[in-house]
Amino acid sequence: MIPVQGYEGARVAVLGLGRSGLATAAALRAGGAEPVLWDDSPEARAKAEAAGYACTDLTRAGAFEGIAALITSPGIPHLYPRPNPVIAAAMAAGVPVDNDIGLFFRSWATAGWDDFDVTPRTVCITGSNGKSTTTALIHHILKHAGRATQMAGNIGRGVLDLDPPEDGEVVVLELSSYQTDLARALTPDIAVFTNLSPDHMDRHSGMGGYFAAKRRLFAEGAPDRAVIGVDEPEGVYLANQMAMGATDDRVIRVSSAKKLGDFGWSVFARKGFLAEWRKGRQVASIDLRGVKALPGAHNHQNACAAYAACRSLGLAPKLIEEAFHSFGGLPHRSQTIAEKRGVRYVNDSKATNVDSAAKALEAFSNIRWIVGGMGKEGGVSALKPLLGSVKKTYFIGHSGRDFALELAPLEHEICETMERAVARAAEEAEPGDTVLLAPAAASFDQYPNFEKRGEHFTALAQALPD
């Protein structure tokens, strides 16, 4: 646990009592603050009370009298599409609103660091797609190299639930736009921006607000080194904003679409090969084609970003390459979960939007594509140019029939359920085919989350006869 600094003897409100909320309450108490807890859910309040906390109704008039700050869970809107009433009341009362990420950065360093030979460091990863894989890959590389490391944030543990760091430790944090948007303190040593594509538009009132939330990690965080994907205009802009010139090697530009040889430091992948360039010459190269857990250009971009971050930490190229090959990948992200009768089954249930589904479609050939769920604004018509490798589509879920109309005249079948889709794809698949779950939609019509959807697909595929 990271005890929160700066609120000793103060009453600090906590809104939202999920994983991060309860970890925040414990960290506040450990730092000498008095946590004041609330959640709209009676079940969440009961869980908090069972853990030894008292709950106070923050919706009542005058609830913020004597409160030093409000710490809110990232999923609770604070501005768009409209502020949560409790957050609005705190702001109206002049009470500072923060989240656990802000508390982490104000509390991470302690006087005990004076005795360390090597100062602990933080690597923070944000972006639209690939940030979880990039985070896990950096963490894996560090472990492979024998470096002390922990991983948290939007993946794994809550940040305040981390153990106090040891000498030279590197903490790797995945940060969503919800987390970077509100944090009052952001001071990463290395910040990574993977890419940007439309998502969470209602929460950020459009692409501008969404990008602005991501950009805060760099503009306000002032990292010592910035690793920035430049395959979209926003990344090009961000790299330009952070660098003093083309040769400024505090910015490492990353691409999976083009050569980047004219900068102080760049890492890019072309035709399956990762190349590192410094001051106009190539200094290292890695063949990514045999790295099973990182298929496709989108994963090659993740590999480039992770490589750049680890090179910034002083790791050797050969050591990073070894770690690539031992990386097992993340569940529900281009994950090969079975091979039956010469057919590969790939679980990419995390592909909940068009952009991530597009990357999955580009990564494989001879695809039998399971797609559908709760469709998002804009539909899936943007995927039509990428259907050359798709042999047949099996539509499931609430938006399945709408998706079929958008993607016509692609050969397809309306299956509605995952059971039927897997069964029909398995019946028709031939050796060399890939049965790919890349839904391009949310899961909430049939499953509580994308993980449960992926687990169901995995169980069905693995139960097929060999």
Per-10-residue mean pLDDT, the chain, length 466: 97 94 96 96 94 93 97 95 96 97 96 96 95 96 98 92 96 97 96 91 93 96 96 97 96 95 94 95 95 91 98 98 94 92 96 91 95 94 96 97 95 98 98 98 96 98 96
Catalytic residue among 78, 84, 99, 131: 131
Q: Judge whether 86 and 38 are in contact, CB under 8 Å.
A: yes
In this prediction, residue 227 carries a pLDDT of 98
Conformational region of residue 402, where left means phi above 0, alpha means psi within -120 to 50, and beta covers everything else: alpha
CA distance 214 to 172: 17
Residue 366: exposed, middle, or buried by beta-carbon count in 10 A (0-12, 13-18, 19+)? Answer: middle
In this prediction, residue 71 carries a pLDDT of 98
Give the annotated binding-site residues: 127-133
Comparing C-alpha atoms, which of 323, 317, 348 is closest to residue 138?
A: 323
In this prediction, residue 17 carries a pLDDT of 94
Catalytic residue among 200, 325, 340, 392: 200
In this prediction, residue 364 carries a pLDDT of 93
In this prediction, residue 201 carries a pLDDT of 85
Comparing C-alpha atoms, which of 323, 335, 275 is closest to residue 299?
A: 335
In this prediction, residue 311 carries a pLDDT of 98
Give the annotated binding-site residues for ATP: 127-133
- Say which amino acid occupies 247: T
In this prediction, residue 369 carries a pLDDT of 98
In this prediction, residue 230 carries a pLDDT of 97
Angle between helices 131-144 and 317-326 (to 10 degrees): 110
In this prediction, residue 454 carries a pLDDT of 98
Is 200 designated active site? yes
CA distance 427 to 411: 16
In this prediction, residue 338 carries a pLDDT of 94
Catalytic residue among 84, 154, 302, 353: 154
Is 325 designated active site? no
Q: H or E segment at 221?
A: none
Is 154 designated active site? yes
Domains (ranges, CATH) in the chain? Answer: 11-98 (3.40.50.720), 105-326 (3.40.1190.10), 335-462 (3.90.190.20)
Q: Judge whether 181 and 207 are in contact, CB under 8 Å.
A: no
